[in-house]
Structure 1
Amino acid sequence: MKVLYICTHNRCRSIMFEAITNQLAKGHIIAQSAGSHPAGIVHPLALRYLQESNISVEGLQSQSWEAFENFKPDLVITVCDAAAGETCPVWFGNSIKIHWGLSDPSQIEGSDEAKALGFRACIAEIKKRVAKLLVIAEKELSPAELKDELAKLTAQ
Structure 2
Amino acid sequence: MNLLFLCTHNACRSILAEAITRKLAGDRLGVSSAGSHPAGTVHPSTLQYLRKYNYPTEDLISTGWGSVSELSPDIVITVCDQVMDERCPTWLGNVIKVHWGLPDPTQLDDKVQEEALFSSIISTLERRIQYLLQQNFEEMTREQIKTIFQEAGKRHGIL
Task: For 1:13 and 1:109, locate their aligned partners in 2 and report how far apart those are by CA, in whole Å.
Answer: 17
| Cα pair 1:6 1:83 within 8 Å, conserved | no
User: Deviation per CA, 1:36-90, whole angstroms, max 9, x where unpaired?
Assistant: 0000000001100100000011210000001122211110000003353x432x3
State the TM-score, normalized to the length of structure 1. Answer: 0.88
C-alpha deviation, 1:28, in angstroms? 1.1
SS in 2 for 1:58: coil
C-alpha deviation, 1:153, in angstroms? 3.5
Match of 1:153 in 2: 152
Q: Does 1:116 align with 2:115?
A: yes
Task: For 1:154 and 1:123, locate their aligned partners in 2 and report how far apart those are by CA, in whole Å.
Answer: 13
Change (3 A) 1:52 1:29: same
Match of 1:100 in 2: 100
Match of 1:139 in 2: 137
| Cα pair 2:128 2:153 within 8 Å, conserved | no
Q: Percent identity?
A: 41
Change (3 A) 1:49 1:152: closer
User: How many positions carry a matched residue from both structures?
Assistant: 150
- The aligned amino acid for 2:52 is E
Consecutive unaligned residues in structure 1, runs of 5 or more: none
Task: For 1:144 and 1:95, locate their aligned partners in 2 and report how far apart those are by CA, in whole Å.
Answer: 11
How well do the aligned residues superpose, as a CA RMSD in angstroms?
1.6
Q: Does 1:130 align with 2:129?
A: yes
Match of 1:65 in 2: 65
SS in 1 for 2:133: helix
SS in 2 for 1:62: coil
Task: For 1:17 and 1:78, locate their aligned partners in 2 and report how far apart those are by CA, in whole Å.
Answer: 10
C-alpha deviation, 1:155, in angstroms? 4.4
State the TM-score, normalized to the length of structure 2. Answer: 0.87
Q: Which shifted more, 60-69 or 127-136? A: 127-136
Task: For 1:120 and 1:151, locate their aligned partners in 2 and report how far apart those are by CA, in whole Å.
Answer: 22
Runs (4+) off by over 4 Å:
none
C-alpha deviation, 1:115, in angstroms? 1.8
Q: Which shifted more, 4-13 or 123-132? A: 123-132
